[in-house]
Structure 1
Amino acid sequence: MCKHAGMRTEITAYYQRGLEAARLQATPWGRLEFLRTWDLLTRTLPEAPADVLDVGGGAGIYAGPLAFSGYRVQLVDPMAEHVAQAALLPGVTATVGDARRLDLADASVDAVLLLGPLYHLTERADRLAAWREAARVVRPGGVVMAATISRFASLLDGFVKGYVSDARFAGMLETTLPTGAHQPPEGTPWFTTAYFHHPDELPGEVAEAGLELDRIAFVEGPLWIMGDRVADWIDDEERLRWLRRIETEPSLLGSSSHLMTICRRRSAS
Structure 2
Amino acid sequence: MIRPEISEYYARGGEYGRLSAREGRLEFLRTWDVLTRVLPPVPAAVLDVGGATGVYAAPLATAGYAVHVVDPVARHVTDAATRPGVTATLGDARALPVPDGSVDAVLLLGPLYHLTDRDDRVLAWREAGRAVRPGGVVVAATISRYASLMDGFAKGYFTDARFRPLVDGALASGRHANGDPTRQWFTTAYFHHPSELPLEVTDAGLVLDRVVAVESPLWLLGERLDEILADRVQVDLLLEMLRTVEADPTLLGASSHLLTIAHRAP
Deviations 1:165-193 (A, max 9, x none): 32211122111102100012534211000
- Give 1:51's aligned residue: 45
Deviations along 1:33-72, one digit per CA (max 9) or x if unpaired, are: 1000000111110010000000000000000000000000
Q: Secondary structure at the match of 2:263?
A: strand
Match of 2:242 in 1: 243
1:228 is displaced (CA, Å) by 2.4
- CA shift digits 1:81-113 (9 cap, x unpaired): 000000011111100000000111111100000
The 1:241/1:102 distance shift into structure 2, 3 A limit, reads same
CA contact (8 A) 1:144 1:263 kept: yes
Contact residue 49 and residue 71 of structure 1 kept, 8 A = yes
- Is 1:183–1:194's contact at 8 Å kept on the other side of the alignment? yes
Partners of 2:179 and 2:187 within 8 A in 1: no
- Residue from 170, 184, 194 that aligns with 2:178: 184
Contact 2:54–2:83 under 8 Å retained in 1: yes
Three-state SS of the structure 2 residue aligned to 1:215 is: strand
Name the structure 2 match of 1:211.
206
Unaligned runs of 5+ in 2: none
Q: Does structure 1 residue 105 correspond to structure 2 residue 104?
A: no
Q: CA deviation at 1:19?
A: 4.1
> What is the identity, as a one-letter code, of the residue corresponding to 1:210?
G
Task: Please state whether the residue corresponding to 1:22 is helix, strand or coil.
Answer: coil
Could you tell me how far 1:130 is from its partner in structure 2? 0.3
Deviation per CA, 1:127-171, whole angstroms, max 9, x where unpaired? 111000000010011000000000000000001011123221112
1:175 match: 169
Spell out the pairing of 1:39-78 with structure 2 (5 A cutoff): 39-78=33-72
1:87 maps to 81
Q: One-letter code of the match for 1:69?
A: A
**Aligned pairs, number:** 261
Q: Is 1:9 matched up with 2:4?
A: yes
Instruction: Show the counterpart of 1:253.
Output: 252
Alpha-carbon distance in 1 for matches of 2:117, 2:46: 26
Alignment partners' CA distance in 1, 2:178 and 2:45? 37
Partner of 1:24: 19
SS in 2 for 1:142: strand
Identity %: 61
Structure 2 residue 215 is the aligned partner of structure 1 residue 220: yes
| Distance across 1 between alignment mates of 2:238 and 2:4 | 41
Query: 2:114 aligned to 92, 113, 120, which one?
Result: 120
**d(CA) in 2 for partners of 1:94 and 1:239?**
33
Q: State which drifts further: 76-85 or 156-165.
A: 156-165
2:139 maps to 1:140: no
Structure 1: give runs of 5+ residues left out of the alignment.
Answer: 1-5
CA contact (8 A) 2:49 2:109 kept: yes
Once superposed, what is the RMSD of the aligned Cα atoms?
1.0
* TM superposition score normalised by structure 1: 0.95
Task: Report the TM-score when normalising by structure 2.
Answer: 0.96
Deviates further, 14-23 or 33-42: 14-23
Structure 1 residue matching 2:192: 3-state secondary structure? coil
Determine helix, strand or coil for the equivalent of 1:199. Answer: coil
